[in-house]
């Protein structure tokens, strides 16, 4: 009798766990890579300013950490995708052809910083045989220019921020996008922290039209309420 009670209790917990998983996970999302991105500010800033990020028609969700002075976000990419672009600029406008929005662009005299990121295998000639089976990757970073039409590549991760405040971006890894490092003298460049936040608030207001063109952030993990669990019952010995 005790064995039967234990069996049915275990079965109940298993059924509950799988039921919750079926409602929380879309297994097709396993075809994508999830990368974490960080924008790092100097410790001289008391409050991290808000920064808008967009990619492929989506407004990315961000998390601000005032104690660590950083903004964190996530990006999903198809596993076969090995390159994306980073663009840091203050304003983005739609490219319109015959009353149809065909993409995004920036003004001809507008400042920007554009980086091409390519995920490549890390080469280490001194690896042992066991280490060679565990391939590691890093992002190769190259700064580049837009085309004369100033059209933004479709795969671009757009960061709405003053590009003159960017110090560098590093190479990252197979799980982490290259970190965006903000210059340590940003307050001197902006004039003060109050002026920096005023500048950022102006960018937020100027991006209201851009928000309309981008959908709200959603999780890549989608609910699937049609999944069912079928269990074949048997009596334990």
**Whole-angstrom distance, CA of residue 231 vs CA of residue 17:** 14
- Name the nearest CA neighbour of 95 among 110, 112, 107: 107
Q: How confident is the model at residue 203 (pLDDT cuts 50, 70, 90)?
A: very high
- Backbone φ and ψ for 89, nearest 5 degrees, come out as -160, 165
**DSSP-H helix ranges across 65-162:** 129-132
Selected residue with higher pLDDT from 102 and 54: 54
Q: Categorise residue 56: left if φ over 0, alpha if ψ from -120 to 50, beta otherwise.
A: left
87 burial type by CB count under 10 A (0-12 exposed, 13-18 middle, 19+ buried): buried
**Structure tokens, 3:** 């064995």
Residue 185 Cα distances to 7, 190, 193, 213, 231, angstroms: 65, 9, 11, 34, 63
Whole-number pLDDT of residue 155: 87
Residue 215 has pLDDT above 80, yes or no: no
Closest CA to 122 of 114, 113, 134: 134
Residue 207, pLDDT above cutoff 90: no
* Range in 36-50, 154-168, 212-226 the model is least confident about: 212-226
- Token pair recorded at residue 89: 């600029």
CA distance 228 to 83: 38
Residues comprising the chain, all counted: 237
Which pLDDT band, with edges at 50, 70 and 90, does 100 fall under? confident
pLDDT band at 222 (very low <50, low <70, confident <90, very high): very low
Neighbours of 157 (CB within 10 A): 22
70 pLDDT above the threshold of 90: yes
Counts for the chain of helices (H) and strands (E), in that order: 5, 13
C-alpha of 126 from chain center: 33
């Amino acid at each position: 009798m005790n064995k039967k009670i234990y069996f049915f209790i275990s079965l109940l917990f298993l059924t509950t766990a799988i039921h919750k998983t079926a409602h929380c996970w879309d297994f097709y999302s396993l075809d994508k890579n999830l990368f974490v991105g960080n924008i790092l500010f100097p410790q001289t800033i008391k409050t991290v300013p808000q920064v808008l990020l967009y990619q492929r028609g989506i407004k990315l969700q961000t998390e601000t950490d005032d104690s660590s002075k950083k903004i964190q976000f996530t990006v999903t990419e198809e596993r076969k995708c090995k390159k994306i672009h980073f663009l840091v600029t203050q304003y983005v406008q739609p490219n319109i052809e015959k009353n149809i929005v065909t993409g995004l662009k920036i003004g001809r005299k507008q400042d920007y910083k554009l980086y091409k990121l390519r995920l490549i295998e890390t080469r280490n000639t001194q690896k042992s045989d066991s280490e060679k089976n565990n391939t590691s990757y890093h992002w190769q970073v190259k700064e580049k220019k837009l085309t004369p039409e100033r059209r933004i590549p479709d795969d671009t991760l757009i960061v709405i921020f003053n590009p003159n405040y960017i110090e560098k971006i590093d190479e990252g890894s197979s799980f982490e996008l290259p970190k965006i490092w903000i210059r340590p003298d940003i307050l001197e460049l902006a004039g003060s922290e109050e002026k920096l936040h005023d500048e950022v608030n102006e960018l937020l207001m100027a991006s209201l039209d851009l928000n309309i063109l981008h959908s709200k952030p959603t999780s890549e993990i989608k609910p699937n309420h049609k999944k069912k669990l079928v269990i074949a019952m048997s009596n334990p010995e």
